[in-house]
Structure 1
Amino acid sequence: MDLTGARWGTPGQLTIGEIRPGADETLARSLLAVQHAAYAVEAALIGDDRIPPLRETLADLRAAPLCWLGACADGRLLGAIAWTADAAVVDIDRLVVDPAAHRGGVGRALVTAVLHHAGSRRVLVATGRANRPARRLYEALGFTATTDEEVAPGLWITRYARPS
């Protein structure tokens, strides 16, 4: 798997680099599989499967106007993070980790890479209110919960911010 601008390491080592699912259908298919698996786990944790990226199609994923980083080991995509940004704010749109790689530091490495990319900008993210593992990760990385929001009847998210 080609990660544009990746920091290549030794076999078995996690490599993080820019990915472009819009330009690479094979990569996009791998990413979509990881995304659907990751959001299926979140759906089970929060007791609700109305998470939009869980229903996203390959065409939707490839067309999304997002910046992406992927995490790969031994040629296998283990996770990815996507965001939008402007001069003041980086808004993390999604963080997905293959369930087989959960609790292995992939999510932390991806969020840390985006924080580094953000520099002095404020960073925002949201997750299911009942998604305790994601909430612990964001809080451990310096994010503070700002609001709980009911985005659909009975579907709650917690919004987080990390000051610049």
Structure 2
Amino acid sequence: MSEQAAESPSTYEDALDVARSIQPALNKLMLIFQRTTEGSSLTTSQVSIMNQLRLRGPSRVSTIAQAELIRMPTASNALYQLERHGFVERHRDDKDRRGVLVALTQLGESELNIVSRQRAAALAEILQWMEPKDLQEARQMSSLIAKLADVYRPTMN
């Protein structure tokens, strides 16, 4: 895997070097996020799915699976669990009656708001200990972090 992919603008070696330097902090932040939402019945994956529904609106299971980089059965199972808790609901697609759309419910929106506030507060607790210039640098990096979250889209088989 040391060769540069035809579509990627950077080399694998450079990317691996950066990944090794980011990974420990990223692991720690992920753990903090998971721990701050321990009072919620939602898993990190379920929160991600609910965020997709908030951003995109009602969606087909296949669209959710593709956006979340998971397989259809995994998406269906996660949505079933969310539906059991009343966080999402399914309804027929008005444009194609054969299709089913999944939408966030008011309860789901409320729970997602709670989890999002908890995670933002946990991150703010960490960020407040940074020097003002470092905090400003973190603010400037936020768009790069968002791009990092969106740039990689492997082919799902």
TM-score w.r.t. the length of structure 2 is 0.27
TM-score w.r.t. the length of structure 1 is 0.26
The structure with the largest alpha-carbon Rg is 2
Higher helix proportion: 2
